[in-house]
Every structure is written in C-alpha cells, then in structure tokens.
Amino acid sequence: MLNISDLYGKVEEKDILKGLSIDVKPGEVHAIMGPNGSGKSTLGNILSGRPGYEATAGSVTFKGQDLLEMGTEERAREGLFLAFQYPVEIPGVSNMEFLKAAVDAKRKHHAQSDLSSVDFLKLARETCKRVDLDASFLKRGVNEGFSGGEKKRNEIMQMMLLEPDLCILDETDSGLDIDALQIVANGVNAMRDGNRSFLVVTHYQRLLDYIIPDYVHVLAGGRIVKSGDKSLALELEAKGYGWLENEVA
C-alpha cells in the first residue's frame, strides 16, 4: 500500500526527516509515536503534498505509484486521506458544497458520474449520523465555529465519504475528551475492512486503547528508532520518550 524508503524531508530550509522508512501493507494499522518536534506532522504533510514541505531524498510508493510525483489533489483522488491535526475553518464555503466537490472530484477521477444533489445529501446526512454530528453542520461554513471535537469528527466524516485506501490520522486525538475520542475511534474501526490501511500519528498512547495497531513505530530525530507491536506503546507510556532518545544518542 505505502512504502516509504529512506525519506529525507525539509520544511522552510530546515531538515526534519532524516532517513525514515516504513512499509504499510493493505489492511494494516501502523501507529507512529514520538515526542514533539520529532517530525510526526511533517510526515503527514509531506505525504499529502502540502506546499512548503519538500521531500529531498528517498522514495514513497503509494499503490505502486511514485507518490512524490503526484499533485496534492491527485493523491487524494487516488485514495490518500490526511485527517488534519488542525482542520481549517473556511467561512462562506458550506460544508455541504465542500464535501460534494470532494466526492465529485474523486468520482470523476475514477470515471464515475456525479451523485445527484439529492443522493449526496442523503449520503452526507447518514454519514453525519455515524460520527454523531447533527445534519445542520452540513449547512454551516467548513469547520466554521466548530468545537475542537466537532472539527475532528468532521474530518472522520470526510474520510468516510471519500472512502480512501490509506488514512493518515495526524494527532486526531490531541485535545479530544474521551467521549469524542471514542466516536472518532469507532469511526476509524468501522472503516477497517482488511484492505484499507491506516497510519495513526499520535503523541499519546491513549488513542491506541481504542484503535488497536498492528505495529507501533517510534519516530525521533526524523527517523524510526524503534518498531514493535502494540506493547511498545504501553512501554512508551510507562517510560516516556526520554530513554529512546538517549538510546539513539
């Protein structure tokens, strides 16, 4: 699904990723944990094609294609989805218009016809319900005035509508209360179907009580310094990140 090999990346002339490698197979859930400043968000941003985030060396293959050669929107249409750590508020653009444009763009890319407004509205409403968002959120501006939890649920709703092959969750759990966290985790778990892959980037082990990963990687200093199964997350929780950084040094 996703193969990252010896990836180097920089943001505004600052080298952040320094030889990162991960191989995610279809259906797998990989958690990436790490201290602040280790490059977690940079990874998500480079993978989704955010302007200003540049891969300087190494390769990323997504479903057999060179991901780094693809434009931002093309990556999305091909099935890569990044749930933002800080979803953007866009007043004046209704959530509904935004979602339909996104779904239409993907369908067009895959030579499917546009959904009618009526069909789309029905689908959007059902999806709202799945993440416990009131359908009135569809009328509002994109994330406009949404609470932190509502924004994150809106991200998961977009993910459900777009049915990506690879979901990257960038600290989706940060700042969430337990109830909201459960809704988000339930949404993610409902989408695990044996083929869809997940890259769950988080600072806290707590999320992994709800989304059980197949693998846990520790990112420090721009590369993976340790990998293991879910027990590694618990070990990190108990010991903190300090011991790993020392180990690396």
Partner 1 sequence: MTDFQQSALQLANKQQAATWLQPLREQGAANWSAASWPGRKTEAWKYISLAPLQQQSNLRWGTDADDSAVDSVEQVELDATCLVFVNGRFNAARSSALPAGVVRFSDANAEQQPLIQQHLGKVVDSERHLFAALSNAWVEDGILVYVPRNKKLDKPLYILNVATPEAESAVASQRLLVVLEEGSEAEVIEHFASDAREQNGFVNSLTEVVIGANARLQHYRINLEEENLLHVGGVHVDLHRDARFHGFTLAQGSRLKRIDYQLNMRGEGAHMELNGVYLPRNKQVIDYHTNVEHCVPNCTSNEVFRGIIGDSAKAVFNGRIHIHPKAQKTLAELSNKNLLTSRTAEINTKPELEIYADDVRCAHGATISQLDETSLYYLQSRGISAADATTMLSFGFINELLNQVPEQAIQDYLRPRLSSLFGQASERVGHLTYE
Query: Which residue stretch of 8-16, 29-37, 99-107, 173-181 sits at the interface with partner 1 (rule: CB under 8 A)?
Result: 99-107
CB of 230 to partner 1, least distance (A): 29
CB of 146 to partner 1, least distance (A): 14
Which of residues 117, 147, 189, 234 is near partner 1 by CB under 8 A?
117
The b-or-e profile of 163-181 (16+ CB within 10 A means b, else e) is ebbbbbbbbbbeebeeebb
CB of 214 to partner 1, least distance (A): 25
Query: Which residue stretch of 31-39, 135-143, 172-180, 193-201 sits at the interface with partner 1 (rule: CB under 8 A)?
Result: 135-143
C-alpha atoms less than 13 angstroms from C-alpha of 117 in its C-beta half-sphere: 3
**Nearer Cβ to partner 1 (96/218):** 96
In the region spanning residues 159 to 188, those forming contacts with partner 1, defined by CB under 8 A, are 162
| Site membership for partner 1, residue 105 (CB under 8 A) | yes
List all residues 6 or more positions away from 170 whose beta carbon is below 8 Å from its beta carbon.
40, 41, 44, 45, 82, 83, 84, 85, 201
In the region spanning residues 56 to 85, those forming contacts with partner 1, defined by CB under 8 A, are 71-73, 75-77, 82, 84
Which of residues 11, 70, 102, 224 is near partner 1 by CB under 8 A?
102
Which of residues 15, 23, 56, 90 is near partner 1 by CB under 8 A?
90
Alpha carbon separation from 159 to 119, 131, 146 (Å, rounded) = 18, 11, 17
Site for partner 1, rule CB under 8 A = 48-51, 71-73, 75-77, 82, 84, 87-88, 90-94, 96-98, 100-102, 105-106, 109, 117, 121, 138-139, 141-142, 158, 162
